[in-house]
Amino acid sequence: LSGVVVEVASRGMLRGMGRPLPATMMNVIGYWVIALPIGGYLALRTSWGLSGLWVGLCAGLIVVAVGLVLWLRKNAPRAQAS
């Protein structure tokens, strides 16, 4: 659950900054490049079945959440001390 919270909050921050492209690209990489192949493999090629699909989705979610946080840490504007 906490990964979902981090992802949604990060996407909201990027949208508020007027920079939705990094969130879009991270979702494409995390879900289409990582989650779907891992989940499909585990669900169809192993004995994991539906649980394998969920494991793949969790892996994609973790990649997206970590990627967005790292992107925000590097590129978000910093507050200036007065």
User: Residue 1 pLDDT more than 80?
Assistant: no
Whole-model pTM: value is: 0.84
How far apart CA 20 and CA 9 sit, in angstroms, is 13
In this structure, which amino acid lies at residue 49?
G
Question: pLDDT grade, residue 75 (50/70/90)?
Answer: confident
Question: pLDDT grade, residue 81 (50/70/90)?
Answer: low
CA-closest candidate to residue 43, choices 56, 34, 52, 55 = 52
Dump pLDDT digits (tens) for 13-60.
999 989 999 999 999 999 999 999 999 999 999 999 999 999 999 999
DSSP letters spanning 33-70: IIIHHHHHHHHHTSTTTHHHHHHHHHHHHHHHHHHHHH
